[in-house]
Amino acid sequence: MGAASVIFGCEGLALSPRERDFFRESDPWGFILFARNIEEPSQILRLTSDLRDAVGRDAPVLIDQEGGRVQRLRAPQWREWRPPLDQAAITGETAARSFWLRSRIMAAELRALGIDVNCAPTCDLAAASTHPFLRNRCLGSDPARVIELARATAEGLMAGGVLPVLKHIPGHGRAVADSHKDLPSVDASLEALRESDFVPFKALADLPMAMTAHIRYTALDHLPATQSPRMIGLIRDEIGFDGLLMSDDIGMEALSGGPGARARATMAAGCDLVLHCNGEMAAMEEVALAVPPLEGAAQNRAEAALDRRILPDRVDMAAFDAEFEALISGGGNG
């Protein structure tokens, strides 16, 4: 029997004794860091080490380091990355190479801190109506373009020893509400979704991990995808994703009920892991009681994902950095 089917956040820059004891007892599969956990490199390395020590294994440590508005590591300690949509526009025909380089450099920054999973690439299709909280986090509006750049992003991360997380499956781009605050509804037909939104996710279905969308697709179900057995079935059977499937943060207000109820509904729908981010002890205690241990097919998927972590080859990072700077300054746009 494996670890608990949950990824937890923590409250601050260092583990409190209470957190250490709680994580030892609850044994979450992994952890996720946010800006509240970030100060400087040696502090982060201590924190990631302490998180792993608390559960007694090489547990994955996740972060959202997309670039643009969503990046937890920021200047002056780390590079400021352009929003993905902006970089795609700037680099034109060389965009795929630029995204591979960006992700390979990013992976080196993350691994140096003990972080080995990055919640990227975002494969949602950007539209004029896409909510601003998401739009410039997207890679483009054309499925073929998104597939190209998402593949480059994923391969750059994995070459650097960091697992990518495909998100937000099966597609968040049509949402006109912010799922942190409300449950967005998408009224497109199944045929329209198959022709556009689902396409990048089908093409990237071989990636080790994916994150669900807190979106209600009214043509299919009244429940958000994260908590819909029908939508999870579609992700597995039609989109063909057979990797480790985690929820988006169940603390987001797109979902209803208390933390325990949200966790139970998410697991009952067929997600492998619940993501709970805010680090609030009372809520984490509820979630810990609600989630089962990883076992069976879910445990196999978790092990298969972690088996794809590699020790990266030694490379000339200065040369990668110089090439990346040339591309984003227009030197490779042709």
Q: Which tokens sit at 156? A: 């750059």
With beta carbons less than 8 A apart as the criterion, state whether 99 and 156 touch: yes
pLDDT at 95: 98
Does the pLDDT value for residue 331 go beyond 70? no
Strands 117-118 and 65-67: unpaired
Q: Give dist(CA 187, CA 222) in Å, integer.
A: 11
For residue range 162-172, what is the model confidence (pLDDT) as tens digits? 999 999 999 98
The domains found in the chain, sorted by start residue, are 4-328 (3.20.20.300)
Rounded distance, CA 210 to CA 145, Å?
Answer: 19
Segment 79-97 shows an average pLDDT of 96
Encode pLDDT of 262-296 as tens digits: 999 999 999 999 999 999 999 999 999 999 999 99
Q: Is 168 a catalytic residue?
A: no
Q: Is-catalytic flag, 222?
A: no
Assign 128 a pLDDT band (cuts: 50, 70, 90): confident
Query: Going along the chain, which residue ranges are E strands?
Result: 4-8, 28-33, 61-63, 65-67, 70-71, 117-118, 163-169, 185-186, 209-212, 216-217, 244-249, 273-276
Taking the C-alpha atoms of residue 270 and residue 178, their distance in angstroms, rounded to an integer, is 24
Reported as a pLDDT band with limits 50, 70 and 90, residue 333 is very low
Per-residue pLDDT at 158 exceeds 70: yes
Residue found by looking up tokens 């092990």 in the block: 303
**Per-residue pLDDT band at 334 (split at 50, 70, 90):** very low
Of 158, 257, 175, residue with least CA distance to 216: 175
Distance CA 239, CA 214 (A): 17
In the chain, the amino acid numbered 203 is A
Which tokens belong to 85? 């949509």
* Furthest-apart CA atoms within the chain: distance in Å: 57
Extract the tokens encoding 299. Answer: 């445990």
Backbone angles phi, psi at 75, to 5 degrees: -60, 155
**Catalytic: which of 248, 249, 272, 276?**
248
pLDDT for residue 176 is more than 80 = no
Identify the band that residue 148 occupies on the pLDDT scale cut at 50, 70 and 90. very high
Per-chain mean pLDDT for the chain: 95
- Per-residue confidence (pLDDT) for residue 39, from 0 to 100: 97
pLDDT of 29 reads 98
Cα–Cα dist 88/91, whole Å: 6
Percent residues over pLDDT 70 in the chain: 98
Q: Residue 195 is inside which H or E element, if any?
A: helix 190-195
User: Annotated catalytic residue: which of 53, 86, 142, 180?
Assistant: 180
